Structure 1
């Protein structure tokens, strides 16, 4: 099964050589599930010709905001609606979670409550899970047809499903502790409050449920 990765951002240059860019992180996360991957760097205006170019689609995270005026935002939203209308499985992570909601009629904003950084706990269908997070923007209004499947007090719309073919996650199952540590060092200073960076650093090494979410994502693609 071929998964098309719609790359909307890049890892810090200090991390790419050792840990990989955003698309490569998903190769690692979903390894062992029988997928092949092709990347379209949509942030460079490189788009697939149609949803038929892959069997399933995945939208990465990004340092950009869904509500910003970039030339690739509108065509990406059109592609999201086309993928949905074709019935192809689509998963969005962090920025991908937000841009899917925006494309389908929801609203995304910079959250006045600040950042979620590092190991974060959620309730998913009544069960506790923990995943690494790195975001300030959030979905603040759900699109029609969205069902909440995961949340916490900080992020009430943390995991969504739209019928049987679209799913999105605010957190980053593809970010392991090495990557979070790199973000703390390279992207956090001067942007994220120092106390939050210290708290996130202190959580490094604790168990999380990325493997569980990877299995969920793989099953969703194959459904």
Structure 2
């Protein structure tokens, strides 16, 4: 299966030599589950032209430091791309910013949350179980790093992951071809910790320390990654 990765942000420069780009993190995530994937890359935030989504097999939209409300030249074309892909039933996954821009493009509301930063490992309640998550436990512990949130999901979206801090943390769409999550299953713990430490001044010492301590909770990223692969297999079939 060929996955087209739409990279919408860059790993911060101080961390890039060690951790590489977000596209590579997703490739490693998928390759850890199966060796059946191939990848194309479109660096959207560098203004690479967006191909016709109807010619794609599957799409991943990455995280980004940008907000859906930012006046950037690539934001509106990406919205139009998402709407066209959704209308054509092309399997599509959004993570963090990808989760937010999908919701925004398809009729939801996204903004910077008054709750502030969500960082560290959060435990997300599984509130609905699509077929590809039929064996999901009661909760999934996944790394996150965000200020913006989906405040109101699109009408076509069902909430599948939720916390009191991030009520709309996972969305599965009624066409059964679109899925998105606020947390980052593609992040390894060393990167998630390094990212929170890089943002220590913005977070404040107390929140940064809590984020660091939260990584003592075992990660469920591998399990969520398996669900994502099963989603793509089901949606492409």
> TM above 0.5, one fold?
yes
Q: Which piece of structure 1 moves more, 70-79 or 41-50?
A: 41-50
Match of 2:16, SS state, is helix
Give 5+ residue unaligned stretches, structure 2.
129-137
Residue aligning to 2:96: 94
Deviations, residues 104-143 of structure 1 (Å, cap 9, x unaligned)? 1111111001111011001113611100000110011121
Q: TM-score, normalised by structure 2?
A: 0.90
Match of 2:200, SS state, is coil
Shift of 1:203: 2.4
Give 5+ residue unaligned stretches, structure 1.
none
Match of 2:183 among 171, 174, 177: 171
Residue aligning to 1:82: 84
Contact 2:185 2:221 in 1 (8 A): yes
Does residue 37 in structure 1 map to residue 39 in structure 2?
yes
Contact 2:4 2:42 in 1 (8 A): yes
Residue aligning to 2:196: 184
Which segments of structure 1 move beyond 3 Å, counting only runs of 4 or more? none
CA distance in 1, matches of 2:185, 2:49: 25
Residue aligning to 1:125: 127
Shift of 1:18: 1.8
Q: TM-score, normalised by structure 1?
A: 0.96
Number of paired residues? 222
Residue aligning to 1:204: 215
Match of 1:133, SS state, is strand
Deviations, residues 31-76 of structure 1 (Å, cap 9, x unaligned)? 1421111110111111332014431000000011111111100000
Shift of 1:205: 4.3
Does residue 71 in structure 1 map to residue 82 in structure 2?
no
Shift of 1:202: 1.6
Q: How does 1:19-30 map to 2 (within 5 A)?
A: 19-30=19-30
CA distance in 2, matches of 1:211, 1:189: 27
Contact 2:141 2:217 in 1 (8 A): no
Residue aligning to 1:49: 51
CA distance in 1, matches of 2:112, 2:83: 24
Match of 2:171 among 160, 164, 174: 160
Residue aligning to 2:134: none
